[in-house]
Structure 1
Protein backbone atom coordinates (compact mmCIF):
# COMPACT_ATOMS: atom_id res chain seq x y z
CA UNK A 1 0.00 0.00 0.00
CA UNK A 2 2.84 2.43 0.81
CA UNK A 3 4.40 1.60 -2.53
CA UNK A 4 1.08 2.48 -4.25
CA UNK A 5 0.89 5.87 -2.53
CA UNK A 6 4.51 6.57 -3.40
CA UNK A 7 3.83 5.92 -7.11
CA UNK A 8 0.75 8.15 -7.04
CA UNK A 9 2.79 10.89 -5.38
CA UNK A 10 5.46 10.65 -8.09
CA UNK A 11 2.79 10.90 -10.79
CA UNK A 12 1.29 13.98 -9.18
CA UNK A 13 4.69 15.63 -8.90
CA UNK A 14 5.42 14.88 -12.54
CA UNK A 15 2.07 16.33 -13.65
CA UNK A 16 2.50 19.50 -11.61
CA UNK A 17 6.00 19.95 -13.02
CA UNK A 18 4.79 19.61 -16.60
CA UNK A 19 2.03 22.15 -16.16
CA UNK A 20 3.56 24.51 -13.62
CA UNK A 21 3.59 28.18 -14.49
CA UNK A 22 7.07 29.45 -15.25
CA UNK A 23 8.94 32.45 -13.91
CA UNK A 24 11.63 32.23 -16.58
CA UNK A 25 13.59 35.25 -17.89
CA UNK A 26 11.80 37.44 -20.43
CA UNK A 27 13.94 36.18 -23.36
CA UNK A 28 13.24 32.49 -22.67
CA UNK A 29 10.69 30.24 -24.36
CA UNK A 30 7.47 29.15 -22.68
CA UNK A 31 4.57 26.90 -23.64
CA UNK A 32 1.12 28.41 -23.87
CA UNK A 33 -2.37 27.34 -24.75
CA UNK A 34 -3.34 28.08 -28.37
CA UNK A 35 -5.99 30.80 -28.43
CA UNK A 36 -9.31 29.21 -27.48
CA UNK A 37 -10.93 32.36 -26.02
CA UNK A 38 -10.88 30.82 -22.55
CA UNK A 39 -9.18 31.76 -19.29
CA UNK A 40 -6.36 29.34 -20.07
CA UNK A 41 -5.22 31.72 -22.86
CA UNK A 42 -3.50 33.64 -20.06
CA UNK A 43 -1.54 30.70 -18.63
CA UNK A 44 2.06 29.75 -19.35
CA UNK A 45 3.90 26.49 -18.71
CA UNK A 46 7.53 25.42 -18.60
CA UNK A 47 7.25 22.18 -20.60
CA UNK A 48 5.44 20.95 -23.70
CA UNK A 49 2.25 19.01 -23.20
CA UNK A 50 -1.49 19.45 -23.24
CA UNK A 51 -3.40 22.29 -21.59
CA UNK A 52 -5.06 20.79 -18.50
CA UNK A 53 -8.03 23.14 -18.93
CA UNK A 54 -9.04 22.88 -22.60
CA UNK A 55 -7.07 19.80 -23.67
CA UNK A 56 -5.27 21.50 -26.57
CA UNK A 57 -1.59 20.91 -27.33
CA UNK A 58 0.59 23.69 -25.96
CA UNK A 59 2.58 25.83 -28.39
CA UNK A 60 6.05 27.29 -27.94
CA UNK A 61 6.46 31.07 -27.74
CA UNK A 62 8.95 33.54 -26.32
CA UNK A 63 7.95 34.87 -22.92
CA UNK A 64 8.35 38.45 -24.13
CA UNK A 65 5.95 37.86 -27.06
CA UNK A 66 3.47 36.18 -24.72
CA UNK A 67 3.55 39.15 -22.37
CA UNK A 68 2.93 41.48 -25.31
CA UNK A 69 -0.16 39.46 -26.20
CA UNK A 70 -1.48 39.68 -22.66
CA UNK A 71 -0.91 43.44 -22.59
CA UNK A 72 -2.40 44.06 -26.04
CA UNK A 73 -5.36 46.41 -26.27
CA UNK A 74 -8.73 44.63 -26.62
CA UNK A 75 -10.04 44.79 -30.18
CA UNK A 76 -13.68 45.24 -31.17
CA UNK A 77 -14.72 44.30 -34.71
CA UNK A 78 -18.05 45.39 -36.20
CA UNK A 79 -19.59 43.08 -38.80
CA UNK A 80 -22.17 44.94 -40.87
CA UNK A 81 -24.68 42.35 -42.13
CA UNK A 82 -27.48 42.75 -44.67
CA UNK A 83 -30.27 40.47 -45.86
CA UNK A 84 -28.99 37.73 -48.14
CA UNK A 85 -25.47 37.78 -46.69
CA UNK A 86 -23.41 34.73 -47.61
CA UNK A 87 -23.06 32.55 -44.48
CA UNK A 88 -19.41 31.54 -44.83
CA UNK A 89 -18.49 35.10 -45.83
CA UNK A 90 -19.06 36.23 -42.25
CA UNK A 91 -19.06 32.96 -40.26
CA UNK A 92 -15.51 32.02 -41.31
CA UNK A 93 -13.89 35.35 -40.33
CA UNK A 94 -16.06 35.47 -37.21
CA UNK A 95 -14.63 32.13 -36.06
CA UNK A 96 -11.10 33.41 -36.71
CA UNK A 97 -11.56 36.67 -34.81
CA UNK A 98 -13.40 35.13 -31.87
CA UNK A 99 -10.75 32.42 -31.52
CA UNK A 100 -8.14 35.18 -31.58
CA UNK A 101 -9.86 36.72 -28.56
CA UNK A 102 -11.34 39.73 -30.37
CA UNK A 103 -14.78 41.10 -29.51
CA UNK A 104 -17.03 40.68 -32.56
CA UNK A 105 -20.33 42.55 -32.76
CA UNK A 106 -22.94 42.30 -35.50
CA UNK A 107 -24.65 45.44 -36.79
CA UNK A 108 -27.53 45.94 -39.19
CA UNK A 109 -29.92 48.75 -40.08
CA UNK A 110 -32.61 47.49 -37.70
CA UNK A 111 -33.04 44.75 -35.11
CA UNK A 112 -35.09 42.70 -37.56
CA UNK A 113 -33.55 39.23 -37.95
CA UNK A 114 -31.35 39.03 -41.04
CA UNK A 115 -32.04 36.17 -43.39
CA UNK A 116 -28.81 34.85 -44.85
CA UNK A 117 -28.44 33.61 -48.40
CA UNK A 118 -29.77 30.22 -47.30
CA UNK A 119 -31.98 29.41 -44.30
CA UNK A 120 -30.00 30.87 -41.40
CA UNK A 121 -31.43 33.85 -39.51
CA UNK A 122 -29.15 36.18 -37.56
CA UNK A 123 -30.33 38.63 -34.91
CA UNK A 124 -27.95 41.61 -34.92
CA UNK A 125 -26.38 42.82 -31.67
CA UNK A 126 -26.83 46.48 -32.60
CA UNK A 127 -28.33 48.79 -35.18
CA UNK A 128 -26.61 51.64 -36.96
CA UNK A 129 -28.35 53.95 -34.44
CA UNK A 130 -26.79 52.45 -31.30
CA UNK A 131 -23.70 50.48 -32.32
CA UNK A 132 -20.68 51.20 -30.09
CA UNK A 133 -17.37 52.39 -31.45
CA UNK A 134 -15.29 49.65 -33.04
CA UNK A 135 -11.65 49.27 -34.05
CA UNK A 136 -12.30 47.36 -37.27
CA UNK A 137 -15.19 47.37 -39.75
CA UNK A 138 -15.95 44.36 -41.98
CA UNK A 139 -18.57 44.12 -44.75
CA UNK A 140 -19.65 41.03 -46.64
CA UNK A 141 -21.07 39.68 -49.87
CA UNK A 142 -24.53 38.69 -50.98
CA UNK A 143 -27.03 41.17 -52.43
CA UNK A 144 -25.12 44.40 -51.78
CA UNK A 145 -27.13 46.76 -53.97
CA UNK A 146 -29.84 47.46 -51.34
CA UNK A 147 -27.07 48.47 -48.92
CA UNK A 148 -25.37 50.66 -51.54
CA UNK A 149 -28.70 52.34 -52.36
CA UNK A 150 -29.54 53.06 -48.71
CA UNK A 151 -28.29 56.57 -47.81
CA UNK A 152 -28.66 56.01 -44.03
CA UNK A 153 -26.58 52.85 -44.06
CA UNK A 154 -23.94 54.32 -46.35
CA UNK A 155 -23.69 57.43 -44.17
CA UNK A 156 -23.13 55.20 -41.14
CA UNK A 157 -20.51 53.10 -42.94
CA UNK A 158 -18.63 56.19 -44.13
CA UNK A 159 -18.64 57.54 -40.57
CA UNK A 160 -16.94 54.34 -39.36
CA UNK A 161 -14.00 54.79 -41.72
CA UNK A 162 -10.90 56.70 -40.69
CA UNK A 163 -7.25 56.69 -41.76
CA UNK A 164 -6.14 54.74 -38.68
CA UNK A 165 -8.94 52.15 -38.67
CA UNK A 166 -8.79 48.77 -40.36
CA UNK A 167 -11.52 48.13 -42.91
CA UNK A 168 -12.06 44.77 -44.59
CA UNK A 169 -14.43 43.36 -47.18
CA UNK A 170 -15.16 39.75 -48.05
CA UNK A 171 -16.42 38.65 -51.46
CA UNK A 172 -18.77 41.21 -53.07
CA UNK A 173 -18.63 43.30 -49.92
CA UNK A 174 -15.97 45.15 -51.94
CA UNK A 175 -18.82 46.87 -53.81
CA UNK A 176 -19.96 48.40 -50.51
CA UNK A 177 -16.46 49.67 -49.74
CA UNK A 178 -16.18 50.98 -53.28
CA UNK A 179 -19.31 53.06 -52.77
CA UNK A 180 -17.76 54.74 -49.71
CA UNK A 181 -14.87 55.93 -51.89
CA UNK A 182 -12.22 54.23 -49.77
CA UNK A 183 -11.08 52.02 -52.66
CA UNK A 184 -10.31 54.97 -54.94
CA UNK A 185 -6.72 54.74 -56.20
CA UNK A 186 -6.22 51.43 -54.36
CA UNK A 187 -5.91 47.81 -55.49
CA UNK A 188 -8.72 45.41 -54.59
CA UNK A 189 -10.24 42.02 -55.29
CA UNK A 190 -13.64 40.37 -54.95
CA UNK A 191 -15.58 37.20 -55.86
CA UNK A 192 -14.17 35.74 -59.06
CA UNK A 193 -17.32 36.21 -61.15
CA UNK A 194 -17.66 39.86 -60.06
CA UNK A 195 -14.15 41.06 -60.97
CA UNK A 196 -15.27 42.78 -64.16
CA UNK A 197 -18.34 44.34 -62.56
CA UNK A 198 -16.27 45.80 -59.70
CA UNK A 199 -13.77 47.28 -62.14
CA UNK A 200 -16.59 48.78 -64.19
CA UNK A 201 -18.44 50.17 -61.17
CA UNK A 202 -15.30 51.73 -59.64
CA UNK A 203 -12.87 52.67 -62.43
CA UNK A 204 -10.52 54.43 -59.98
CA UNK A 205 -9.79 51.04 -58.36
CA UNK A 206 -7.34 48.50 -59.77
CA UNK A 207 -9.21 45.19 -59.50
CA UNK A 208 -7.27 41.91 -59.52
CA UNK A 209 -8.46 38.39 -60.25
CA UNK A 210 -6.94 35.18 -58.85
CA UNK A 211 -5.90 36.89 -55.62
CA UNK A 212 -6.94 35.60 -52.19
CA UNK A 213 -6.66 39.01 -50.57
CA UNK A 214 -5.23 42.47 -51.20
CA UNK A 215 -3.75 44.45 -48.30
CA UNK A 216 -3.40 48.21 -48.81
CA UNK A 217 -2.23 48.85 -45.25
CA UNK A 218 -5.45 49.51 -43.39
CA UNK A 219 -7.83 48.47 -46.19
CA UNK A 220 -8.09 44.76 -46.96
CA UNK A 221 -10.31 43.14 -49.58
CA UNK A 222 -10.63 39.40 -50.12
CA UNK A 223 -11.94 37.12 -52.81
CA UNK A 224 -15.07 35.07 -52.25
CA UNK A 225 -16.36 32.99 -49.37
CA UNK A 226 -13.48 30.90 -47.95
CA UNK A 227 -10.94 33.59 -48.91
CA UNK A 228 -12.41 35.65 -46.08
CA UNK A 229 -10.80 33.23 -43.64
CA UNK A 230 -7.40 33.91 -45.23
CA UNK A 231 -7.98 37.65 -44.99
CA UNK A 232 -9.04 37.39 -41.36
CA UNK A 233 -5.96 35.33 -40.45
CA UNK A 234 -3.80 37.86 -42.29
CA UNK A 235 -5.32 40.66 -40.21
CA UNK A 236 -4.76 38.68 -37.00
CA UNK A 237 -1.13 38.27 -38.08
CA UNK A 238 -0.80 42.03 -38.60
CA UNK A 239 -2.20 42.71 -35.14
CA UNK A 240 -0.80 39.84 -33.09
CA UNK A 241 2.07 38.32 -35.08
CA UNK A 242 2.49 35.24 -37.26
CA UNK A 243 2.97 32.63 -34.50
CA UNK A 244 -0.30 33.72 -32.92
CA UNK A 245 -2.16 33.70 -36.25
CA UNK A 246 -0.71 30.27 -36.99
CA UNK A 247 -1.98 28.97 -33.66
CA UNK A 248 -5.44 30.41 -34.44
CA UNK A 249 -5.45 28.54 -37.77
CA UNK A 250 -4.43 25.35 -35.97
CA UNK A 251 -7.12 25.84 -33.33
CA UNK A 252 -9.90 26.06 -35.93
CA UNK A 253 -8.22 23.24 -37.91
CA UNK A 254 -7.81 25.39 -41.02
CA UNK A 255 -4.80 23.72 -42.60
CA UNK A 256 -5.15 25.57 -45.91
CA UNK A 257 -3.77 28.87 -44.61
CA UNK A 258 -0.57 29.98 -46.32
CA UNK A 259 0.81 33.24 -44.83
CA UNK A 260 1.25 36.04 -47.38
CA UNK A 261 -0.84 34.10 -49.92
CA UNK A 262 -2.21 37.36 -51.22
CA UNK A 263 -1.02 40.73 -52.47
CA UNK A 264 0.48 43.03 -49.84
CA UNK A 265 0.60 46.45 -51.48
CA UNK A 266 1.45 48.34 -48.33
CA UNK A 267 2.31 47.49 -44.74
CA UNK A 268 1.61 49.73 -41.78
Structure 2
Protein backbone atom coordinates (compact mmCIF):
# COMPACT_ATOMS: atom_id res chain seq x y z
CA UNK A 1 0.00 0.00 0.00
CA UNK A 2 2.82 2.44 0.91
CA UNK A 3 4.58 1.61 -2.38
CA UNK A 4 1.41 2.40 -4.34
CA UNK A 5 1.02 5.77 -2.54
CA UNK A 6 4.70 6.59 -3.14
CA UNK A 7 4.39 5.82 -6.85
CA UNK A 8 1.23 7.93 -7.08
CA UNK A 9 2.89 10.81 -5.23
CA UNK A 10 5.95 10.61 -7.48
CA UNK A 11 3.74 10.61 -10.57
CA UNK A 12 1.81 13.63 -9.30
CA UNK A 13 4.98 15.59 -8.50
CA UNK A 14 6.50 14.72 -11.87
CA UNK A 15 3.36 15.89 -13.63
CA UNK A 16 3.38 19.12 -11.61
CA UNK A 17 7.02 19.79 -12.46
CA UNK A 18 6.42 19.19 -16.16
CA UNK A 19 3.47 21.60 -16.05
CA UNK A 20 5.63 24.44 -14.75
CA UNK A 21 5.95 27.49 -16.98
CA UNK A 22 9.34 29.16 -17.31
CA UNK A 23 10.01 32.64 -18.64
CA UNK A 24 12.96 34.86 -19.44
CA UNK A 25 13.58 37.55 -16.80
CA UNK A 26 12.25 40.81 -18.27
CA UNK A 27 14.84 42.33 -20.61
CA UNK A 28 12.61 44.35 -22.95
CA UNK A 29 13.64 42.08 -25.80
CA UNK A 30 10.78 41.67 -28.31
CA UNK A 31 11.82 38.07 -28.87
CA UNK A 32 12.10 37.27 -25.15
CA UNK A 33 9.50 38.86 -22.93
CA UNK A 34 6.43 37.25 -24.54
CA UNK A 35 7.78 33.69 -24.72
CA UNK A 36 7.11 30.85 -22.26
CA UNK A 37 8.95 27.55 -21.85
CA UNK A 38 8.06 24.20 -20.28
CA UNK A 39 11.59 23.33 -19.13
CA UNK A 40 14.28 25.21 -17.17
CA UNK A 41 17.36 26.37 -19.03
CA UNK A 42 18.51 29.52 -20.79
CA UNK A 43 16.62 31.89 -23.07
CA UNK A 44 17.60 31.04 -26.68
CA UNK A 45 17.55 34.75 -27.59
CA UNK A 46 19.40 36.60 -24.81
CA UNK A 47 21.02 33.72 -22.91
CA UNK A 48 19.59 34.67 -19.51
CA UNK A 49 18.64 31.88 -17.10
CA UNK A 50 14.92 31.06 -17.25
CA UNK A 51 12.88 31.43 -14.08
CA UNK A 52 9.54 30.01 -13.00
CA UNK A 53 6.70 32.26 -14.04
CA UNK A 54 5.49 32.65 -10.45
CA UNK A 55 8.95 33.97 -9.59
CA UNK A 56 8.84 36.60 -12.34
CA UNK A 57 10.45 39.78 -11.07
CA UNK A 58 8.56 43.05 -10.79
CA UNK A 59 9.87 45.61 -13.25
CA UNK A 60 11.80 48.46 -11.67
CA UNK A 61 10.93 52.04 -12.59
CA UNK A 62 13.93 54.21 -13.45
CA UNK A 63 13.85 58.00 -13.92
CA UNK A 64 16.51 59.55 -16.16
CA UNK A 65 16.63 63.32 -15.62
CA UNK A 66 18.02 65.00 -18.77
CA UNK A 67 18.69 68.62 -19.69
CA UNK A 68 20.02 70.66 -22.61
CA UNK A 69 23.73 69.97 -23.18
CA UNK A 70 23.82 66.55 -21.51
CA UNK A 71 26.64 64.13 -22.37
CA UNK A 72 25.34 61.41 -24.74
CA UNK A 73 27.19 58.36 -23.40
CA UNK A 74 26.54 59.41 -19.80
CA UNK A 75 22.89 58.46 -20.22
CA UNK A 76 22.97 56.18 -23.29
CA UNK A 77 25.22 53.58 -21.64
CA UNK A 78 23.16 53.16 -18.46
CA UNK A 79 19.97 53.32 -20.56
CA UNK A 80 21.19 50.27 -22.46
CA UNK A 81 21.92 48.40 -19.20
CA UNK A 82 18.61 49.20 -17.50
CA UNK A 83 16.71 48.47 -20.69
CA UNK A 84 18.25 44.98 -20.96
CA UNK A 85 17.41 44.50 -17.28
CA UNK A 86 13.74 44.95 -18.15
CA UNK A 87 13.28 48.25 -16.30
CA UNK A 88 10.65 50.84 -17.15
CA UNK A 89 12.68 53.93 -18.04
CA UNK A 90 11.14 57.41 -17.90
CA UNK A 91 12.95 60.21 -19.75
CA UNK A 92 12.24 63.39 -17.78
CA UNK A 93 13.30 67.01 -18.18
CA UNK A 94 12.06 70.29 -16.75
CA UNK A 95 9.65 70.53 -19.69
CA UNK A 96 8.88 68.22 -22.59
CA UNK A 97 10.50 70.65 -25.04
CA UNK A 98 13.19 69.09 -27.27
CA UNK A 99 16.73 69.23 -25.89
CA UNK A 100 20.10 68.53 -27.49
CA UNK A 101 22.72 66.19 -26.10
CA UNK A 102 26.18 67.68 -26.71
CA UNK A 103 24.53 70.08 -29.14
CA UNK A 104 24.06 67.26 -31.65
CA UNK A 105 21.53 64.60 -30.68
CA UNK A 106 17.93 65.77 -30.43
CA UNK A 107 16.06 64.22 -27.48
CA UNK A 108 12.33 64.45 -26.78
CA UNK A 109 11.58 63.96 -23.05
CA UNK A 110 8.50 61.88 -22.32
CA UNK A 111 7.68 63.67 -19.06
CA UNK A 112 8.22 67.02 -17.39
CA UNK A 113 8.74 67.61 -13.68
CA UNK A 114 5.02 68.33 -13.53
CA UNK A 115 3.88 64.83 -14.48
CA UNK A 116 6.87 62.49 -14.08
CA UNK A 117 5.87 59.15 -12.50
CA UNK A 118 7.50 57.93 -9.26
CA UNK A 119 10.62 55.81 -9.67
CA UNK A 120 12.59 53.19 -7.78
CA UNK A 121 15.87 54.56 -9.18
CA UNK A 122 16.58 58.22 -9.96
CA UNK A 123 19.59 59.04 -12.16
CA UNK A 124 21.36 62.30 -13.07
CA UNK A 125 24.09 62.77 -15.66
CA UNK A 126 26.94 65.07 -16.62
CA UNK A 127 27.53 67.57 -19.37
CA UNK A 128 26.22 71.09 -18.91
CA UNK A 129 25.02 70.11 -15.43
CA UNK A 130 24.73 73.73 -14.24
CA UNK A 131 21.47 73.90 -16.19
CA UNK A 132 19.91 71.61 -13.58
CA UNK A 133 22.12 72.21 -10.54
CA UNK A 134 21.49 75.97 -10.57
CA UNK A 135 17.75 75.72 -11.17
CA UNK A 136 15.93 76.02 -7.79
CA UNK A 137 12.70 74.63 -9.25
CA UNK A 138 14.44 71.47 -10.49
CA UNK A 139 16.35 70.99 -7.23
CA UNK A 140 13.19 71.40 -5.18
CA UNK A 141 11.47 68.81 -7.39
CA UNK A 142 14.35 66.34 -6.93
CA UNK A 143 14.17 66.83 -3.16
CA UNK A 144 10.45 66.09 -3.25
CA UNK A 145 11.21 62.64 -4.67
CA UNK A 146 13.59 61.60 -1.89
CA UNK A 147 11.00 59.79 0.32
CA UNK A 148 9.76 57.51 -2.50
CA UNK A 149 13.06 56.74 -4.26
CA UNK A 150 14.99 53.59 -3.32
CA UNK A 151 18.27 54.45 -5.04
CA UNK A 152 19.87 57.63 -6.35
CA UNK A 153 22.59 57.39 -8.97
CA UNK A 154 24.77 59.97 -10.69
CA UNK A 155 27.07 59.61 -13.66
CA UNK A 156 30.03 61.95 -14.17
CA UNK A 157 29.22 65.52 -13.07
CA UNK A 158 25.60 64.58 -12.48
CA UNK A 159 26.91 64.33 -8.90
CA UNK A 160 26.73 68.13 -8.65
CA UNK A 161 22.96 67.95 -9.23
CA UNK A 162 22.40 65.39 -6.47
CA UNK A 163 24.82 67.35 -4.30
CA UNK A 164 22.83 70.55 -4.72
CA UNK A 165 19.73 68.65 -3.58
CA UNK A 166 21.52 67.56 -0.39
CA UNK A 167 21.46 63.89 -1.35
CA UNK A 168 25.26 63.53 -1.16
CA UNK A 169 25.68 65.21 2.22
CA UNK A 170 27.94 63.19 4.56
CA UNK A 171 28.38 60.50 1.88
CA UNK A 172 31.45 59.03 0.22
CA UNK A 173 31.18 59.82 -3.50
CA UNK A 174 33.05 60.24 -6.77
CA UNK A 175 32.70 62.03 -10.10
CA UNK A 176 34.52 62.78 -13.38
CA UNK A 177 38.29 62.88 -12.77
CA UNK A 178 38.65 66.52 -13.85
CA UNK A 179 35.89 67.60 -11.44
CA UNK A 180 37.07 65.94 -8.23
CA UNK A 181 38.43 69.14 -6.65
CA UNK A 182 35.37 71.18 -7.62
CA UNK A 183 33.08 68.56 -6.05
CA UNK A 184 35.17 68.63 -2.87
CA UNK A 185 34.62 72.37 -2.68
CA UNK A 186 30.90 71.98 -3.37
CA UNK A 187 30.52 69.21 -0.77
CA UNK A 188 32.69 70.11 2.23
CA UNK A 189 30.82 67.63 4.45
CA UNK A 190 31.30 64.70 2.08
CA UNK A 191 34.26 62.47 1.20
CA UNK A 192 35.06 62.79 -2.51
CA UNK A 193 37.32 60.03 -3.87
CA UNK A 194 39.35 59.98 -7.07
CA UNK A 195 40.33 56.87 -9.08
CA UNK A 196 37.10 54.97 -8.37
CA UNK A 197 34.86 53.70 -11.17
CA UNK A 198 31.91 54.00 -8.80
CA UNK A 199 31.14 54.41 -5.12
CA UNK A 200 28.06 53.00 -3.37
CA UNK A 201 27.21 54.58 -0.03
CA UNK A 202 23.84 53.52 1.37
CA UNK A 203 21.18 54.18 -1.25
CA UNK A 204 23.43 56.49 -3.27
CA UNK A 205 25.66 55.36 -6.15
CA UNK A 206 27.99 57.85 -7.84
CA UNK A 207 30.24 57.03 -10.78
CA UNK A 208 33.23 58.52 -12.52
CA UNK A 209 32.94 59.94 -16.03
CA UNK A 210 31.13 58.79 -19.15
CA UNK A 211 31.74 55.03 -19.61
CA UNK A 212 31.91 54.47 -15.83
CA UNK A 213 28.15 54.98 -15.80
CA UNK A 214 27.82 51.58 -17.48
CA UNK A 215 29.79 49.99 -14.61
CA UNK A 216 27.56 51.71 -12.06
CA UNK A 217 24.38 50.60 -13.79
CA UNK A 218 25.64 47.01 -14.03
CA UNK A 219 26.50 47.12 -10.33
CA UNK A 220 22.95 48.19 -9.48
CA UNK A 221 21.52 45.45 -11.70
CA UNK A 222 23.76 42.91 -9.99
CA UNK A 223 22.56 44.17 -6.62
CA UNK A 224 18.86 44.12 -7.54
CA UNK A 225 18.64 41.33 -10.14
CA UNK A 226 21.59 39.09 -9.31
CA UNK A 227 25.09 38.40 -10.60
CA UNK A 228 24.02 36.20 -13.54
CA UNK A 229 21.67 38.88 -14.89
CA UNK A 230 24.42 41.53 -14.81
CA UNK A 231 26.94 39.21 -16.45
CA UNK A 232 24.52 38.35 -19.26
CA UNK A 233 23.79 42.04 -19.88
CA UNK A 234 27.51 42.86 -20.05
CA UNK A 235 27.99 40.01 -22.55
CA UNK A 236 25.00 41.13 -24.60
CA UNK A 237 26.52 44.62 -24.80
CA UNK A 238 29.99 43.15 -25.48
CA UNK A 239 31.19 45.32 -22.60
CA UNK A 240 34.25 43.45 -21.37
CA UNK A 241 35.50 46.45 -19.38
CA UNK A 242 33.20 45.61 -16.46
CA UNK A 243 34.88 43.84 -13.56
CA UNK A 244 32.33 42.84 -10.88
CA UNK A 245 33.32 44.23 -7.50
CA UNK A 246 35.71 46.78 -8.98
CA UNK A 247 34.02 49.81 -7.41
CA UNK A 248 33.88 50.79 -3.75
CA UNK A 249 30.97 49.81 -1.52
CA UNK A 250 31.06 51.76 1.73
CA UNK A 251 30.34 49.55 4.71
CA UNK A 252 28.52 51.18 7.62
What TM-score does the superposition give when structure 1 sets the normalisation length? 0.79
Residue 151 of structure 2 corresponds to residue 166 of structure 1: yes
1:108 to 88, 93, 98: 93
Show CA shifts across 1:44-93 (max 9, x none): 47587872xx4x4x35x4x7xx2389532221101000111000000000
CA distance in 2, matches of 1:49, 1:168: 31
CA distance in 2, matches of 1:67, 1:31: 6
Unaligned residue ranges in structure 2 (runs of 5+): 1-15
Unaligned residue ranges in structure 1 (runs of 5+): 1-21
Match of 1:82 in 2: 67
Change (3 A) 1:101 1:69: farther
Change (3 A) 1:34 1:103: closer
2:114 to 129, 133, 142: 129
1:34–1:248: 8 Å Cα contact kept in structure 2? no
The equivalences for 1:26-41 within 5 A come to: 35=27, 37-38=29-30, 40-41=32-33
CA distance in 2, matches of 1:168, 1:191: 14
CA distance in 1, matches of 2:26, 2:141: 36
1:168–1:220: 8 Å Cα contact kept in structure 2? yes
Change (3 A) 1:164 1:117: closer
**CA RMSD in angstroms, aligned pairs only:** 2.7
Per the alignment, in what secondary structure is the counterpart of residue 172 of structure 1? helix
1:189–1:209: 8 Å Cα contact kept in structure 2? yes
Match of 2:230 in 1: 245
1:213–1:263: 8 Å Cα contact kept in structure 2? yes
The equivalences for 1:203-214 within 5 A come to: 203-214=188-199
Question: How many pairs align?
Answer: 235
Per the alignment, in what secondary structure is the counterpart of residue 32 of structure 2? helix
Write out the 4+ residue segments of structure 1 that deviate beyond 6 Å after TM superposition: 47-50
Show CA shifts across 1:181-238 (max 9, x none): 1111110000000000000111111000010000112100000000000000000011
2:219–2:230: 8 Å Cα contact kept in structure 1? yes
CA distance in 1, matches of 2:114, 2:124: 17
Match of 2:11 in 1: none
The equivalences for 1:36-185 within 5 A come to: 37-38=29-30, 40-41=32-33, 43-44=36-37, 46=39, 51=44, 54=45, 56=46, 58-59=47-48, 61=49, 66-67=51-52, 70-162=55-147, 165-185=150-170
1:234–1:259: 8 Å Cα contact kept in structure 2? yes
CA distance in 1, matches of 2:57, 2:25: 17
> Cα distance, 1:31 vs. partner?
10
2:184–2:191: 8 Å Cα contact kept in structure 1? yes
